[in-house]
Structure 1
Amino acid sequence: MPAELRPTPSSRGSQLPVISLFAGAGGLDLAVERVADAPLSSPSSPTPGPYRVAVATDYAPQALDTLALNLPGTVTLSGDIRETSTSELLRAGSMASGDAALVIGGPPCTPFSKSGFWLAEKRESRDPNASLLEEYVRVVAQSKPEAFVLENVQALTYKTHKAHFDQLLSALTELGYNPQWKTLLAADYGVPQLRKRVFIVGRRDGKAYKFPEPTHAGPSETTRTWDLSKLPHVTAQQAFEGLVTTPEKGELLEGKYGELAAEIPGGQNYLWHTSRYGGRDEFEWRSRYWTFLLRLAADKPSSTLQAQPGPYVGPFHWENLPNEEGNLRARRLRVPELLRLMTFPDDFRLIGSRADIQRQLGNAVPMELGKAVLRALTLQLGYVDPETVNDDRLVRSTSSAVLIS
């Protein structure tokens, strides 16, 4: 499919241009453009920062429609990255090789996701889409950005995919970018979601990127002790504070498991209905995925939001609502609640059906997690003077980057 070029926006002053690959609905793009905003804030008028997303590309035109609706100053290219040349991206963003401050993006995680391990080709790392990592490297090699940020699922670092991962790091090292990688838990950076993602960051000058220190701490699937000097994880209930929502069509969980789901307490899943817990003895122990009939716990962060959940895959809200017959049923999360769990602005607009919206948000990078990684990179690249930092708002003037208090 040839790339489809959309209208070119007007210039946005002296902000540094960014190339966004596999942009989707724009989670990392939002983080780039709002990196100057204070953490955990989504003002209606974002603070101008040092960057602008000059061009964004993705295979899914609908996701790009969403991105364009929220970032109207970005040129979008719809098409297969394997058929989109770097020169085409540079031309669309009015850049030459070496002009871009950053290349950002998360190649589709399907080949490396744990949820795909039931397919032999994914367990054995034979998925042809894994080649999209090579396309990312190709664009970095040819566009020569000052730095890059690559995001993916944690499973990319597993032994199963070691060959792909090592090849990726080797290729980026040969380009002189000295790539550094780390798996980050979104909740440790103020995101009300226990979502793990690996980030790989490299600088053209070869200096090693230093990942930001977590600002929050708390229990997780693999954490039983944590740093009490940090802020506690943001809970789902805290995330929803002040949010007014309206019922959505089809939000109640009906069908075979609707009654069972309504009986499961917040924070529990189908295991509630096994012989070991207090519900009905309906299921064998550990016979389903953890997310089957999973309910949100109000006092904890959410589990990872999935892009394409089955009809009985959670997390579902902790509250029950009556259906037309007056029977209590669990309900699916509403779009404004999904936005809060992804730390997207409340006024973020999405195009498509409810399933389309779930897919776009489930595939996105939580904005605050992206901001944390990008804020650290911005400081280390010297666009702000770390000695004068007295808050986290970064502002770029026409001549240099400065901080305001």
Structure 2
Amino acid sequence: MKYSVLSLFSGCGGLDLGFKKAGFHTVFATDVWDIACDTLKENNAADEVVCEDIRNVDFTRFHNSVDVVIGGPPCPPYSQTRHYLTEKKGGFEDEKAGFAVPEYFRAIKEINPKVFMFENVDGFTFKTYQEPMAFLKEQAERMGYNITYKVINAANYGVPQTRKRFICVGLKKGIGEFVFPQETHSEKGTNNTHKWVTCGEVLSDFDNITEEEKKQRPGSKDYDLLVGIPPGKNYLYYTEHEGYPDPIFKWKSRYWTFLLKLTPNRPSWTIQASFSNNQGPFHWKNRFLRISEIKRLQTFDDDYKLCGDMKEQWRQVGNAVPAKLAEEIAKEIKKYI
């Protein structure tokens, strides 16, 4: 039996793909970005795809007819970078997406699923955002759900990326209390776990450099500095703190991702949603990562189709939940339905 899923803030379908692999079926998916919706349609991710502002979507027709609601409201209001952008308000006061979390729970109220899965950046748990967290707990209790939540490192579930995400699963009272699946991987492979999956393991067949890539210069004006940085390091390599004899940068004077390079010996760091000339991670061979590579790092199938131009495809994949992480959570949720 395939259990039904309704997907909110679906993006290009990372959560949906993971749930599909676990035996679920998405009956309805919605996102406000037309290109992401085109991607969902191209991959037959859902029976019905609605491209619309969630505030304009009526979910009452799905009342009591859907097993699981999944979704990750836009994360910029809760991201760590918001702490540096002091001119912008965060949380519910965010001008562009402050409404998203309340709308997620408005949908839960109208649908009344057996289970919901809520995803966001780990910053959602910071003391700075006590109001949204309190709101989540209050709404879940009011609507009759037991919730379990934690910050998960995707690498601990076999994803070749150390990507931390806040995951909350709510089960209707009477079903039980959700227990997160046991972690299968760890950095050193101790306690009956496998070692983290590394970039080298999943990107080895992309190790060539094309003629076009030879013309490109990641890092822009700092390309020569990027070339000198060892794999697995960033701009901090050129600081006094790291013992560089003629320091070029001050310690922690830039974003940590500035001139950041992957190493084949560990998972990738978090793939960002915005393609950048100087913010990594970059390939250890001093080139930009390819869309096919970030799909691997986000555990999308190689044949998963993405619509839009290169930067639009990058944004879709960078915003997504790793499909394998979603699959592991979905397989555990299945036990409770």
Q: Is the 8 A contact 1:237 1:299 kept in 2?
A: yes
Q: CA deviation at 1:246?
A: 6.9
After superposition, the Cα gap between the structure-2 partners of 1:375 and 1:160, relative to the gap in structure 1 and judged at 3 Å, is same
> Cα–Cα, structure 1 residues 106 and 205, in superposed 2: closer, same or farther, change >3 Å?
same
2:17 to 19, 27, 30: 30
Q: How much does 1:363 deviate?
A: 0.5
Q: Which of 321, 331, 336 is residue 375 of structure 1 equivalent to?
A: 331
Q: 1:318 to 1:139 in 2, by over 3 A?
A: same
* 3-state DSSP of counterpart to 1:299: coil
Q: 1:215 is matched with which residue?
A: 184
Contact 2:13 2:45 in 1 (8 A): no
**Equivalent pair of 2:27/2:48 in contact (CA under 8 Å):** yes
Alignment partner of 1:285 is 2:258: no
Supply the AA of the counterpart residue of 1:214: E
Matched with 2:73 is 107
1:135/1:245 CA distance change after superposition, 3 Å: farther
Say which SS state the counterpart of residue 211 (structure 1) adopts.
Answer: coil
Sort the Cα spacing of 1:52 and 1:283 in 2 relative to 1 into closer, same or farther, 3 A: same
Return closer, same or farther for 1:166/1:227 CA change in 2, 3 Å cut-off.
Answer: farther
Q: Is residue 2:145 matched to residue 1:177?
A: yes
- The match for 1:80 is 53
Amino acid at match of 1:270: Y
The one-letter code of the counterpart of 2:295 is: L
CA distance in 2, matches of 1:354, 1:124: 30
Percent identity between the two aligned chains:
36
Aligned equivalents of 1:141, 1:245: Cα separation in 2: 51
Deviation at 1:169, TM superposition (A): 1.3
Task: Calculate the aligned-residue CA RMSD, in Å.
Answer: 2.0
Report the alpha carbon displacement of residue 115 of structure 1 after superposing the two structures with TM.
1.9
* C-alpha deviation, 1:244, in angstroms: 7.2
Number of the residue aligned with 2:166: 198
Mean CA deviation greater in 265-274 or 227-236: 227-236
Matches within 5 A, 1:357-368: 357-368=313-324
What are the residue-to-residue correspondences of 1:310-349 with 2, within 5 Å? 310-319=276-285, 330-349=286-305
Deviations along 1:133-190, one digit per CA (max 9) or x if unpaired, are 1111111111111111110001001100011111111111111111111110000000
- Residues 1:215 and 1:124: Cα distance change in structure 2 (over 3 Å): closer
The question of whether the paired residues in 2 share the 8 Å contact of 1:190 and 1:234 is answered with yes
Q: CA deviation at 1:296?
A: 0.2
How far the C-alpha of 1:309 sits from its partner, in A, is 4.3
Paired residue type of 2:83: F
Task: From 126, 130, 139, give the equivalent of 2:93.
Answer: 126
In the aligned structure 2, how far is the partner of 1:258 from the partner of 1:246? 16
Given the two structures, how large is their TM-score scaled by the length of structure 2? 0.92
Look up the match of 1:356.
312
Q: Which SS does the other structure have where 1:180 is aligned?
A: strand
CA distance, structure 2, for counterparts of residue 104 and residue 286 of structure 1:
37
Matched, 1:60 2:33: yes
The one-character-per-residue Cα deviations of 1:83-120 (angstroms, maximum 9, x if unpaired) are 11113xx4xxxxx4111011000000010011222233
Per the normalisation by structure 1, the TM-score is 0.77
- Give the match for residue 70 of structure 1: 43
Distance of 2:254 and 2:219 partners within structure 1 = 19
Q: State the number of aligned residues.
A: 331
Kindly report which structure 2 residues correspond to 1:264-303, keeping only aligned pairs within 5 A, or say none: 264-275=229-240, 276-278=242-244, 281-303=247-269
- Note the C-alpha offset of 1:227: 3.2
Distance (whole Å) between structure 1 residues aligned to residue 270 and residue 231 of structure 2: 16
Q: How many angstroms apart in 2 are the aligned matches of 1:124 and 1:86?
A: 24
Q: What is the CA-CA distance between 1:371 and the residue it aligns to?
A: 0.7
For the structure 1 residues 84 and 218, does the alpha-carbon distance in structure 2 shift closer, same or farther, using more than 3 Å as the test? Answer: same
TM superposition shift of 1:335: 1.1
SS of the equivalent of 1:82 reads helix
Unaligned runs of 5+ in 1: 1-13, 36-48, 91-95, 220-225, 320-329, 382-405
Give the letter aligned to residue 93 of structure 2: R
Change (3 A) 1:203 1:229: same
Name the CA shift for 1:77/1:185 in 2 (closer, same or farther; >3 Å).
Answer: same
Cα distance, 1:209 vs. partner? Answer: 0.7
Select 2:113's aligned residue among 126, 145, 155.
Answer: 145
Aligned to 1:239: 202
> Who wins on radius of gyration, i.e. which is larger?
1
- CA deviations on 1:19-62 (whole Å, 9 max, x unpaired) are 10000000001011111xxxxxxxxxxxxx2x211110001110
When residues 86 and 255 of structure 1 are mapped into structure 2, their CA distance, relative to the original with a 3 A threshold, is same
Q: What do the CA deviations read for 1:261-301 (whole angstroms, capped 9, x no partner)? A: 01111000001122334475211121111110000011001
Residue type of the alignment partner of 2:11: G
Residue in structure 2 matched with residue 19 of structure 1 by the alignment: 6
- Matched residue of 1:173: which SS? helix
Q: Secondary structure at the match of 1:55?
A: strand
Determine the C-alpha separation between the residues in 2 that align with 1:304 and 1:279.
Answer: 30
CA distance in 1, matches of 2:89, 2:155: 28
